[in-house]
Structure 1
Amino acid sequence: MDIKDDNGIDLKINQQYYIEHLVNLHWRYFNAISDDDKQELNYLEETIAKTRENLARLTL
């Protein structure tokens, strides 16, 4: 069974990408906190949540 993200990309093939992407998003998040960048924080919170959902779908 193929597991696809919202863009139709196979999650199993891109699992390593999603893990690396999540780490990078967290670094950006911490930097946005330091800079008090509210717009970036909102974007990153949404993107981190979506990336976590995609990774969680791999473990179901």
Structure 2
Amino acid sequence: MNRVEAYRFDSKQECLDYLDDLFKTDKYRNLDEVKVRASMYAKHDKELHDFFIDKGKELLARTP
């Protein structure tokens, strides 16, 4: 039986690309959304999880 694997981040570049896409939509441009996505897609890797949240915070701080 073949099993479909859930989407997850496998690199820091993938995290950055996802954040860029996520923040294109105004309603997703907030820290709560960043934390939800980190929990969904980076819970398997603490380093990527923390990186995603830190970069999300950094991008939010720069967003007008």
**Aligning the two structures, in what range does the TM-score lie when normalised by the shorter sequence?**
0.3 to 0.5
TM-score normalised by length of structure 2: 0.43
| Structure of higher CA gyration radius | 1
Structure with more helix by fraction? 1
* Superposition TM-score, scaled by structure 1 size: 0.45
